[in-house]
C-alpha cells in the first residue's frame, strides 16, 4: 500500500536536491576515512562501513537524478509527466541497500572464519564520529523526504541510518574484543553480521513501498477518506461514487466520480466538477492531476437517492 503524509510540510524539490548533493560529499569523505582507519586499525567492521558508505554515494546520486527527472513537466512523449522516475530511483536505492547488507554479511562471515588480531582502540573514536554524523544525516534527509513525499529520499535516509547502525554494532563489537582480549577478536565481525538483519529488514520494507508506487497501488484509506471529504465539501456534490488515487513521483493523481442532482443543467454540473478539481488541487496534499466524472442522481419520493 502506498503511504504518503496527510499534512506534508512545505518542502521544495530544491531542498531534496541540495540534501542529496550534501550526502554525496559527506559519504565520500566518510568512506575514505573509514576504510583507511579500518585497514590501519585492523577492523573489518569499519572497512565494511566504508564499503557501505561507498554504496551510499551512488544511492544519493541516483536519488538526485530521479528527483531531477521527476519534476520535469509533461510532454508529448510522457503526457502524464515523469513522476515515476522518482519511484524507479526508490526501487534502485532499496536494491542497493539489500546488496550492501549482503556484501557486509558475506565478508563478516569470512572474517569470523579467519583468525585475526583485535582492532585498535582508536577505531572506536572514528566509529563514534561516524554514528553522530550519519544519524544526523538520516534525520535531515528523512525530514526532507517526508516533506516531499519522496520514497527515494526516505530510502536514501535509511542508507544513512543503516550506516549508523552498523557503526554502532561495530563500536559494541570492538569494545567487547578489546575488553575480552584473546578469543574475542571476531566480536566486531559478529556485530557487523548482526547489523545486517536490520539493513535487510529495512531494505525489503522500502523495496515493497517503492514497487507499490511503480504498480500504482492504492494509498492508505486515510488518504482516500481525506480526498472524499474535500470533494464532498463542494456545494452541489450529493455523494462520491468512486475515488481512485495513485502516487506519481512526488504528487497524487486521481479519478473521482461525483454525484449531483440530475435536475441540474449541464453547465451547472460542469461548474461543480471544476470546483471539485480546484478544491483538491489547491489543498495542501500535493495533488497535481484530477479527473472529475459527473454522475446524475435523482431524488425519489421515499427519500432514497439513485444513480
Domain of residue 300, CATH code: 3.30.70.1350
Range of the domain at 42: 13-214
Mean pLDDT value of segment 137-146? 88
Q: Could you tell me if 17 and 61 lie in one domain? A: yes
Q: What is the pLDDT at residue 117?
A: 65
Residue 34 counted as domain residue: yes
State the DSSP code for 38: H
In this structure, are 175 and 262 located in the same domain?
A: no
Indicate the number of domains in the chain: 2
Q: Are residues 68 and 199 in the same domain?
A: yes
Same domain membership, residue 162 and residue 237: no
Confidence of residue 42 (pLDDT cuts 50, 70, 90): confident
Cα separation of 114 and 94, whole Å?
31
Question: Given 184, 214, 244, which residue is the final one in a domain?
Answer: 214
108 CB neighbour count, 10 Å cutoff: 25
Q: Which residue, of 160, 192, 214, is where some domain finishes?
A: 214
| DSSP one-letter string for 59-120 | HHHHHHHHHHHHTSPP-SS-TT-STHHHHHHHHHHHHHHHHHHHHHHHHHHHHHTS--PPPP
pLDDT exceeds cutoff 70 at 223:
yes
How far apart, in whole angstroms, are the C-alpha atoms of residue 63 and residue 156? 7
Cell numbers describing residue 300: 425519489
CATH (domain of 147): 1.20.1510.10
Q: In the prediction, which pLDDT does 177 show?
A: 75
State residue 75's pLDDT score.
Answer: 82
Q: What is the mean pLDDT of residues 231-238?
A: 90
250 shares its domain with 113? no
pLDDT(196) > 90 = no
Residues 92-118, mean pLDDT to the nearest whole number: 79
- Alpha carbon distances (Å) from 228 to 176, 277, 279: 56, 12, 11
pTM, two decimals, is: 0.69
Work out the mean pLDDT of the chain and round it to a whole number: 81
What's the rounded mean pLDDT across residues 195-204? 80
pLDDT for res 35: 83
Q: Which of 165, 249, 171 is nearest to 203 (CA)?
A: 165
Residue 276 has pLDDT above 90, yes or no: yes
Residues 105 and 200 in one domain: yes
Amino acid at each position: 500500500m502506498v503511504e504518503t503524509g496527510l499534512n506534508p510540510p512545505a518542502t521544495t524539490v530544491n531542498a531534496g536536491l541540495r540534501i542529496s548533493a550534501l550526502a554525496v560529499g559527506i559519504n565520500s569523505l566518510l568512506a575514505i576515512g573509514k576504510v583507511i582507519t579500518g585497514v590501519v586499525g585492523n577492523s573489518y567492521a569499519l572497512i565494511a562501513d566504508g564499503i557501505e558508505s561507498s554504496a551510499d554515494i551512488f544511492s544519493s546520486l541516483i536519488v538526485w537524478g530521479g528527483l531531477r527527472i521527476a519534476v520535469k513537466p509533461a510532454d508529448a512523449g510522457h503526457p502524464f509527466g515523469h513522476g515515476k522516475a522518482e519511484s524507479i530511483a526508490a526501487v534502485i536505492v532499496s536494491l542497493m541497500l539489500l546488496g550492501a547488507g549482503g556484501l557486509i554479511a558475506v565478508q563478516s562471515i569470512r572474517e569470523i572464519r579467519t583468525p585475526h588480531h583485535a582492532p585498535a582502540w582508536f577505531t572506536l573514536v572514528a566509529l563514534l564520529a561516524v554514528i553522530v554524523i550519519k544519524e544526523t544525516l538520516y534525520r535531515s534527509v528523512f525530514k526532507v523526504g517526508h516533506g516531499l513525499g519522496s520514497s527515494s529520499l526516505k530510502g536514501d535516509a535509511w542508507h544513512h541510518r543503516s550506516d549508523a547502525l552498523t557503526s554502532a554494532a561495530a563500536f559494541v563489537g570492538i569494545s567487547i574484543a578489546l575488553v575480552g582480549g584473546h578469543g574475542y577478536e571476531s566480536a566486531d565481525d559478529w556485530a557487523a553480521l548482526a547489523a545486517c538483519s536490520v539493513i535487510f529488514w529495512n531494505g525489503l520494507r522500502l523495496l515493497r513501498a517503492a514497487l507499490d508506487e511503480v504498480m500504482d497501488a492504492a494509498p492508505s484509506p486515510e488518504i482516500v477518506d481525506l480526498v472524499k471529504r474535500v470533494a464532498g465539501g463542494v456545494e452541489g456534490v450529493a455523494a462520491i461514487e468512486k475515488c481512485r488515487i495513485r502516487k506519481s513521483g512526488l504528487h497524487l493523481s486521481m479519478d473521482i466520480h461525483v454525484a449531483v442532482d440530475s435536475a441540474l443543467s449541464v453547465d451547472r454540473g460542469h461548474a461543480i466538477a471544476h470546483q471539485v478539481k480546484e478544491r483538491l488541487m489547491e489543498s495542501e496534499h500535493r495533488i497535481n492531476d484530477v479527473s472529475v466524472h459527473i454522475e446524475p442522481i435523482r431524488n425519489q419520493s421515499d427519500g432514497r437517492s439513485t444513480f
